[in-house]
Amino acid sequence: MQKMNKKIKLTKFKNTPISKKVTYLYTLFFCIVLFIISILIVFNAWMYYSSVSKKEINDTATKVENYIKNGGEISKENLQKITDNKYIDIRVTLRDNKFFADTMKNPDEFPSLEPPMDSSGQRKKNNPDNRFHTKTISNQPYMFTHREVTYNNKVYDIGIFRTYSHEYSIMRNFVILFIIINIIAFFISYYAGKYIANKILKPIRNITETAENISINDLQQRIEVPETDDEIKKLIVTFNDMISRLDQSFEKQKQFVSDASHELRTPISVIQGYVNLIDRWGKSDTEVLEESISSIKYETEHMANLIKQLLFLARTDNKTQTAQLKPENISIIAEDVVREATVMDSKITIKFTGDNSVIANIDEHLIKQLMWIFVDNAIKYSADKPIIINVNTGYENEKPFFTVADKGIGMEQENINHIFDRFYRADQSRNKEIDGNGLGLSIAKWIIEQHNGHIDVVSEIGKGSCFKITFSKL
């Protein structure tokens, strides 16, 4: 049962807001420190008063000893002259004699310092020392010590008694004062801790409020970065950077969906138009029917290719598309692509040049797909010019590479920085009749990144383009 109660209490504390935890812990720590300081002050004050009292008792005892050894007459009046300390009382007793002199007002209440009698009627041997003893006499606390002095074969017992009721009173006032100070300090520390906690956690509350106000349609809000260079600033900078990345990702996603919808809408509209054409005239007009079927076939192939590329990019975004790297000869892959392109269309002039054996750590299927993307672009963007393509492989600074160069229409320099963006097509108004959807080079970029490769693009309007991909050394 006790364990259950402890667990419940721990759970409640864990579920307490951080601001309250900081306040409670700050208050607890401050009060503990203040309490320890108070105890140390009281203890040191008491030790100081105690040491002063002991010194006064010792000094008085020494004076009495010297007075007796010098043959001074022992009387109440003479003992009172030895010390002027009003808190000290002196008693001198002659051993085995009832005679004594003292300075007390009520001497009967003070203890006798003579050693007790043994069983034979003789007094036990006394062991006087300089140790201090305490005792309550007449409802007042006393500290006393005993000295033994011999003079003219007479033994004198000296008792020095000092009351420390005054010190008790001072210490009691000290304790009461520190109790009041601790109570006041508790409330001050609580509200100070609450203020400090609210001040420290204010940026975190701003983060929370901003996060609550952020939605997919509104990612423009940011938290003001404080001037102080601390953990809170780092947290705010990190949070703002995260929101910026989310904003960019959502913008890309919206652009992607918009572009994909646009690319799919065009072939669907064309197919729908030809279906309506067949429905009206194609049933009796063979020429219209053949034209419609050919166009529908072309558009469905275009859509199938687009969907295939979209699925590939979706797999790359979801990290389900991976590259299986191993040492392969990229020259063999390049020769296969050249041979397949030659068979595909006799109008294509494509050649392979370079080393016959260039080994790189690659995924064979992805690199073949990469080469085909560049070759396909070279074919598309040759326009009315002869389709001339050169595929080259080799080493540069011990790093394997391959290039795909064409003599097509080329690109302006400002477009090169965007050609790897999804659905981007340079000079769309001029190239709207060219087949494509602007996804090929996005896929190419992903493949190159998976191989830790580097791409260089050189292009000039009217002269063609060259894509060079360099791989890491084995």
Q: Which two tokens stand for residue 336?
A: 């296969």
Are 246 and 330 members of one domain? no
Q: Which two tokens stand for residue 41?
A: 């002050």
DSSP element (H, E) containing 468: strand 464-470
* pLDDT higher than threshold 50 for residue 230: yes
Are 264 and 400 members of one domain? no
Are 181 and 247 members of one domain? no
**Higher pLDDT residue, 265 or 216?**
265
Are 355 and 463 members of one domain? yes
For residues 21-36, b (16+ Cβ closer than 10 Å) or e, as one string?
Answer: ebbbebbeebbeebee
Using CA atoms, how far apart are residues 471 and 362, in angstroms rounded to an integer?
Answer: 9
For residues 87-115, b (16+ Cβ closer than 10 Å) or e, as one string?
Answer: bbbbbbbeeeeeebbbbbeeeeebeebbb
- Pairing mode, strands 326-329 and 387-396: unpaired
Are 111 and 258 members of one domain? no
Cβ atoms 394, 358 nearer than 8 A: yes
**Of 178, 196, 214, which residue constitutes the final position of a domain?**
196
Please choose, from the candidates 179, 164, 129, the residue with its C-alpha nearest in 3D space to the C-alpha of residue 47.
164
Are 146 and 275 members of one domain? no
Inside any domain, residue 306 = yes
Q: What is the pLDDT of residues 365-420, one digit of tens each?
A: 899 989 988 998 888 888 778 889 999 999 999 999 999 999 988 888 888 888 88
Are 404 and 445 members of one domain? yes
Are 58 and 190 members of one domain? yes
* pLDDT higher than threshold 90 for residue 112: no
Inside any domain, residue 223 = no
Inside any domain, residue 212 = no
Lowest mean pLDDT among 66-70, 172-176, 304-308, 430-434: 430-434
Burial of 210 from C-beta contacts in 10 A (0-12 / 13-18 / 19+): middle
Three-state DSSP string of 366-429: HHHHHHHHHHHHHHHCCCCCCEEEEEEEEEECCEEEEEEEECCCCCCHHHHCCCCCCCCCCCHH
Measured CA distances, 443 to 311, 452, 472 (Å): 11, 14, 20
Inside any domain, residue 243 = yes
Using CA atoms, how far apart are residues 470 and 401, in angstroms rounded to an integer?
Answer: 4
Count structural domains, the chain: 3
Domain extent for 256: 231-315
Are 336 and 303 members of one domain? no
pLDDT at 361: 93
Q: What is the pLDDT of residues 181-204, one digit of tens each?
A: 889 988 988 888 888 888 877 777
Using CA atoms, how far apart are residues 170 and 176, in angstroms rounded to an integer?
Answer: 10
Reduced to 3 states, what is the DSSP secondary structure of residue 459? strand
Are 173 and 268 members of one domain? no
Are 340 and 362 members of one domain? yes
Q: What is the pLDDT of residues 297-344, one digit of tens each?
A: 877 876 777 777 777 777 777 677 788 899 999 999 999 999 888 887
Inside any domain, residue 433 = yes
Please choose, from the candidates 85, 84, 77, the residue with its C-alpha nearest in 3D space to the C-alpha of residue 103.
77
Inside any domain, residue 269 = yes
Mean pLDDT for the chain? 81
Q: Euclidean distance between the first and final Cα of the chain, in Å? A: 67
Inside any domain, residue 141 = yes
Inside any domain, residue 40 = yes
* pLDDT higher than threshold 70 for residue 258: no
Using CA atoms, how far apart are residues 416 and 436, in angstroms rounded to an integer?
Answer: 17
**Higher pLDDT residue, 12 or 366?**
366
Are 39 and 180 members of one domain? yes
Burial of 58 from C-beta contacts in 10 A (0-12 / 13-18 / 19+): middle
Cβ atoms 101, 76 nearer than 8 A: yes
Kindly state the percentage of the chain with pLDDT values over 90: 16
